[in-house]
Amino acid sequence: MSAEQARVRSTGRQRARALIVDDEAPARAELRYLLEEFDDVQVVGEATNAEEALVLLSSLDYDVVLLDIRMPGGTGLDVAAALAGRRNPPAVIFTTAYPDHAVEAFDLAAADYLVKPFDADRLRRALDRALERVPDEDEPRQAGPPPNDDRGERLGRIPVQRGDRTVLVDEGEIVYASAARGYSYLKLAGDRVLVSYSLADLERRLPRHFFRAHRSYLVNLNHVRELVPDFKGSLVLVMDDAERSRVDVSRRQARELRRLLGL
């Protein structure tokens, strides 16, 4: 048994059904070849354009779609946008030769964005992101130490990639962070940037005044301007950035926030 097979068997993960969407036959063949190395993924369909992809996605429940960007008759972004409106859509991994659509891709909740050529290790990491189950906000959390226990031992900066440069963003500039399938967006006073940390990574990395308001949001309480109750008994946070961004707080976390604030 290979090390990869042993790893997959030890996780107990069922095989995920994958759809490959690419207009170039050699690219589809290469991707299928790479995927055959993984026992937890099974390629059960291929499409050569956006229209074919949407037909196949309507006929079978896929777990993950590996999606090219530029194709005849419609783009991969069009397919991802159509999927975003569905209940329980498959995870989307973009596989493309064009690096300039990443922000659009993550706006459509892509699990990952792979720029060709990529190897099996990089594809494996993308699949792990895509197939990782996001827990529901009302599910009980697993027992274990709180994620914030080691806060305060950090440098206070978050590295952000801007072209070929790495910029260090001071944590105090972060108004809130939002989840993007294994990545995160940082909302700053006048900007929004993509970082390679998951929201859980940021929660461990940032100090205690960053509050997990929702499974999709981590809020800097120093930038909260107002707390507005909603009709469901939860809260909406109005932030102090120029847009007066509004961040929903889950019911469970609203109770915790009221407790922290003594309300």
CATH number at residue 89: 3.40.50.2300
- Does any domain span residue 225? yes
Only one residue has tokens 């992809």, namely 53
The model's pLDDT over 78-134, given as tens digits with 9 standing for 90+, comes to: 888 888 877 788 889 999 888 788 888 888 888 888 888 888 988 998 888 888 744
pLDDT of residue 163: 64
Claim to verify: residue 58 and residue 103 sit in the same structural domain: yes
Report the interhelical angle of 25-35 vs 120-131 (nearest 10°).
70
- Does any domain span residue 233? yes
224-229 β-sheet, strand order: 224-229, 235-239, 246-249
The one-character DSSP state at 46 is E
pLDDT of residue 176: 92
Claim to verify: residue 167 and residue 220 sit in the same structural domain: yes
What is each CA distance from 250 to 174, 245, 254, in whole angstroms? 21, 16, 6
pLDDT of residue 21: 93
Claim to verify: residue 69 and residue 109 sit in the same structural domain: yes
> pTM higher than 0.85, yes or no?
no
Whether the Cβ atoms of residue 250 and residue 214 lie closer than 8 Å to each other: yes
- Residue 237 lies in domain: 157-261
Three-state secondary structure call for residue 174: coil
Claim to verify: residue 15 and residue 118 sit in the same structural domain: yes
Q: Is pLDDT at 198 greater than 90 in this prediction? A: no
Cβ neighbors of 249 (< 8 A, separation 6 or more) are 213, 214, 234, 235, 236, 237, 257
When mean pLDDT is compared across 23-32, 183-192, 228-237, the lowest value belongs to: 228-237
Claim to verify: residue 123 and residue 174 sit in the same structural domain: no
Claim to verify: residue 55 and residue 121 sit in the same structural domain: yes
Rounded distance, CA 198 to CA 186, Å?
11
Tokens of 46: 């291929």
Number of domains in the chain: 2
The model's pLDDT over 243-259, given as tens digits with 9 standing for 90+, comes to: 888 888 888 888 888 88
pLDDT of residue 19: 93
Residue 250: CATH number of its domain: 2.40.50.1020
Tokens of 230: 């909603």
pLDDT of residue 18: 92
- Does any domain span residue 106? yes
- Does any domain span residue 187? yes
Only one residue has tokens 């909603």, namely 230
Q: Is pLDDT at 70 greater than 70 in this prediction? A: yes
Rounded distance, CA 77 to CA 148, Å?
36
Tokens of 194: 């993509």
Claim to verify: residue 203 and residue 116 sit in the same structural domain: no
Claim to verify: residue 113 and residue 168 sit in the same structural domain: no
Claim to verify: residue 163 and residue 245 sit in the same structural domain: yes
- Does any domain span residue 146? no
pLDDT classification of 179: cutoffs 50, 70, 90: confident
Average pLDDT over residues 148-156: 51
Average pLDDT over residues 166-195: 84
Rounded distance, CA 93 to CA 75, Å?
14
Q: Is pLDDT at 66 greater than 70 in this prediction? A: yes
pLDDT of residue 182: 64
